[in-house]
Amino acid sequence: MLDPALLRQQPADLAHRLRETRGYDLDVDALASLEADRKRIQVRTQELQNLRNSRSKAIGQAKAKGEDVSAIMAEVAAFADELKASETALEALRGKIDAISMSLPNLPAEGVPTGADENDNVEQARWGTPRDFDFPVLDHVELGARNGGLDAETAAKLSGSRFTVLRGEVARLHRALAQFMLDLHSGAHGYQETNVPVIVNADSLYGTGQLPKFEEDMFITRLGEQKRYLISTSEISLTNMVRDEIVDAERLPLRMTAHSLCFRSEAGSGGRDMRGMIRQHQFEKVELVSVCRPEQSEAEHERMTECAETVLRTLGLPYRRMLLCTGDMGFSAVKTYDLEVWLPSQQTYREISSCSNCGDFQARRMQARWRNPATGKPELLHTLNGSGVAVGRAMIAVMENYQNADGSITVPDALRPYMGGAERIG
């Protein structure tokens, strides 16, 4: 959530910035009308509340003296209905203004390129050289079928489209990748391994920005009369651990990693992503989350991205780092790097990790704060999140980049300890 002061004091400037950077149209006139009504009704509500308090005090004093209080009580009764109506109207107006505030995306940081979509993203660096194959390259679906490891038909029978059953050595490769990433991030990179719920309440989704805007992308369950949501990323669970908390300064930065199931409806996506495991309703990801002081967040963002890059380098997978433009960044981000891994079957780079600095945007929604020792006062934290990395897409990249002419797959050196020493699949 953006600073409410921007809405109240600089609505025209905010509207211009949102339109230019995010393509978001803020109705300034409608907002000004709501604010004017709020101020008017708030003043009257406070007048009535002060009057009620003063008359209640007068009643107490009169009773103490044994005086007749009927006239004062009649006066209180006369404005009680107006006060109740005024309080109800004020609450409704605040709700409307809060709804507008909750719908506003974050403002990009300085240096983020202005653009409309992924075509305007800026390449920052490349690592590794794509392999030259002397035989016809197969995609992960064909490789998985040859080795009996990928089964979309059985998954469709069980759950519908965009699910996959993994078997045998391919299933073990998938597990090995997750274990390798967790060990790397919790050992070499200093993130605390955390196991989190994959079902969360609405407050958690409001905190990290999935609600109210992206509810259609969520899978919804019910526990009794209350809705619960399957997480689309363990960022939601990890980041909300500091919701409504004041974190001691010496604990910062907090760095956490989790391997979890993730669920997305993927509404509106299709095309080449419909084939195989590129875009699934259920997938697994190793997530990185950092919670830090404001002055630490830029350096923490670079560090987090480098941690995700280390996964790809250790696996020997060619990739590139992209700085996302304003039109392609996520709702909560001020700055985002995407890591895109090389897929030989598509002869292109595809996203495998997205690392974002959210500034104080999520912290304001969650009321997540730290106590500044210089002032002794609570201040908003900064939050960051990134994939470290998507397990299924890493498996796809390993299968395709390490394939052999006979359809077998060479196991990268880093994964062999997790594969019982196996050097080849199939």
Q: Which residues fall in the annotated binding site for ATP?
A: 264-266, 351-354
Give residue 164's Cα distance to chain centre.
Answer: 25
Query: Residue 354 catalytic?
Result: yes
The residue annotated as part of the active site, out of 351, 371, 379, 408, is 351
The residue annotated as part of the active site, out of 22, 38, 172, 279, is 279
Cβ–Cβ contacts within 10 Å for residue 263, how many? Answer: 20
Rounded distance, CA 408 to CA 146, Å? 8
Query: Residue 313 catalytic?
Result: no
What does the DSSP assignment read for 334-359?
Answer: SEEEEEEEEETTTTEEEEEEEEEE-T
**CA of 197: how far to CAs of 148, 166, 262, 324, 348, in Å?**
32, 23, 11, 30, 35
Binding site feature residues for L-serine: 233-235, 287, 387
The residue annotated as part of the active site, out of 300, 340, 393, 400, is 393
Determine how β-strand 382-390 pairs with β-strand 192-193.
Answer: unpaired
Rounded distance, CA 167 to CA 264, Å? 23
Query: Residue 393 catalytic?
Result: yes
- Which helix (H) or strand (E) segment holds residue 411: the answer is none
At residue 331, what are phi and psi to the nearest 5 degrees? -55, -40
**CA of 352: how far to CAs of 55, 287, 380, in Å?**
66, 12, 30
Are 290 and 304 within 8 A, CB to CB?
yes
Binding site feature residues: 233-235, 264-266, 287, 351-354, 387
**In angstroms, how far is the first alpha carbon of the chain from the final one?**
50
The residue annotated as part of the active site, out of 354, 356, 364, 400, is 354
**CA of 60: how far to CAs of 55, 68, 175, in Å?**
9, 11, 72
The residue annotated as part of the active site, out of 264, 321, 364, 369, is 264
Q: Tell me which residue of 366, 389, 426, 336 sits closest to 121, measured CA to CA.
A: 336
Query: Residue 351 catalytic?
Result: yes
Are 393 and 341 within 8 A, CB to CB?
yes
Query: Residue 297 catalytic?
Result: no
| Active-site residue list | 264, 279, 351, 354, 393
